[in-house]
Structure 1
Amino acid sequence: MSRISRFSSALIAGVFALTAIAAHAQTGEGRGGRGGMLERYDTDKDGKVSLAEYEAGRQNQFRRIDTDGNGALSFAEIDAAGAEAAQRGGGMAQMMQQRLAALKAADTNGDSSVSAAEYKAYVDAAFKALDKNNDGFVTADEFQAAMPGR
């Protein structure tokens, strides 16, 4: 399978995992200490997430995973973040692990790490896949519409 095909497949898996987290949060079940994805990324509290808000939230995650601070996510760092999610347990942890595993496919140059540029491309593609009406925003309805089986 080509790197582009792997990236596309992983992007779809990652989007489903992200939207599963968001939809779970929208039901009120995921509003614990971390809050729902829409709540976390919607910094201006207008009920929708812009690309800029989405990128800013994802950059925060990038910095948390990049434990050595070198500006790239090694597969070891991604695996460590997945193991940390697994320790938390529950369905949310499983979805986080799936999303982190999908992130590895963003390594389009095959160097076993995800650079900031590769990560941005991955994040932008995920946002575009979620923004079904191409208005530049993702709403709770669009998050939920991206759920498998909907």
Structure 2
Amino acid sequence: MNTAQKILSVIVSLAAVSAIAGEDRKPRPNFDLNGDGTVTTTELSEYRNAEFAKMDLNGDGNLSREEVTEYKAQMKAERKANKKDRFDRADANEDGQVSADEFAASTDEMATRMDRNGDGTIDRREMFKAMRGHGGEGHDGEHRKGDGV
């Protein structure tokens, strides 16, 4: 099997894993795990394996319908909790409403955090680094701290 066939095989596998998990509305995954601007077959395999492992809740190497259903429920609960957290962080004066000023402050903070080299722009690499792991393996919530609504 040549390199192109291996890459295609991994991409098809990733699409199948996403379809099984019902995550077709999820943002496009970032296969560039080390953020160097290229995607290797190793990175694709690592991503695929990590996604499968997240869904294989009992660790037996197989996905049951129950595991996929539970995984989807967990992801939905996490998204719902994150939406509330983002609102609470943006509501700086804790009055239960986000004013235009609070909204602007929270989004300005997010943009500043994403602009890793401080040049006043967010290039493709900075965007990928900021969004790496979003909803995926290795997500530690760091890119969400203090971001806006």
Question: Bigger relative contact order, structure 1 or 2, given CA contacts below 8 A and separation 6+?
Answer: 1
Per the normalisation by structure 1, the TM-score is 0.37
Larger Rg computed on CA atoms: 2
**Greater strand share, 1 or 2?**
1
**Greater helix share, 1 or 2?**
1
Per the normalisation by structure 2, the TM-score is 0.37
